[in-house]
């Protein structure tokens, strides 16, 4: 077990999957995928997550460090300085994105979450994204191979991956390691 409040700048960036058991949609996705996890986000600064809710924003750790949540942190084994900078720029650009007033109604792909919840991930809004897609775009695209073989199994991150697929991809990828876990227990 780790204390997320003790994660330093030297440990970052990290990818985080979480179990949010407080909301109906999160519980439905966990039930549907038979997974502990229902959300993905990133961490580029100590003390904060970059997380997709209604809008993509920086969120204090304590919002996720609750009794309803478990957190699993993944790091990169050999991340170059250039790739670390690229990830940070992507996340910062997304956080600073100029939004029209209607974007504040929702940047989130609720239709895509519905598709995940009923097991048909092709149902989504192609103009919006949900949490796992945001993390994939910012932290993985162009940084690591999104298809690889390990122990004679080919792993490929699907286009609209659910949290279970995302977790499996991360925990088996040769360039990614489990940094640690947190729970209130």
Give per-residue pLDDT as tens, 154-184.
778 887 788 888 999 999 998 999 999 999 8
pTM: 0.86
Using a 10 angstrom Cβ sphere, with 0-12 exposed, 13-18 middle and 19 or more buried, the burial of residue 42 is buried
- How far is it, in rounded angstroms, from Cα 74 to Cα 128? 25
Q: What backbone torsions phi and psi does residue 42 show, to the nearest 5 degrees? A: -125, 170
167, 17 contact by CB (below 8 A): yes
At 134 the pLDDT is: 84
Q: Hey, where are the domains in the chain?
A: 4-183
The top-level CATH class assigned to 4-183 is alpha beta
């Amino acid at each position: 077990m780790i204390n997320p409040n003790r994660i330093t700048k030297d440990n970052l960036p990290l990818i985080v999957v979480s179990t949010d058991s407080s909301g109906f949609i999160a519980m439905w996705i966990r039930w549907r995928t038979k997974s502990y996890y229902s959300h993905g986000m990133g961490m580029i600064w100590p003390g904060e997550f970059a997380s997709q809710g209604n809008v993509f924003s920086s969120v204090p750790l304590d919002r996720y460090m609750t009794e309803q949540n478990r957190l699993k942190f993944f790091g990169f084994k050999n991340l170059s300085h250039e790739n670390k900078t690229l990830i940070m720029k992507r996340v910062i650009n997304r956080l600073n994105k100029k939004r029209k007033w209607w974007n504040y109604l929702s940047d989130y792909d609720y239709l895509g979450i519905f598709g995940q919840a009923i097991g048909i991930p092709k149902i989504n809004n192609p103009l919006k994204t949900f949490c796992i897609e945001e993390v994939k775009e910012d932290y993985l695209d162009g940084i690591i191979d999104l298809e690889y073989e390990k122990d004679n199994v080919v792993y490929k991150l699907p286009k609209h991956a659910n949290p279970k697929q995302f977790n499996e991809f991360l925990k088996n990828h040769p360039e990614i390691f489990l940094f640690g876990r947190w729970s209130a227990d």
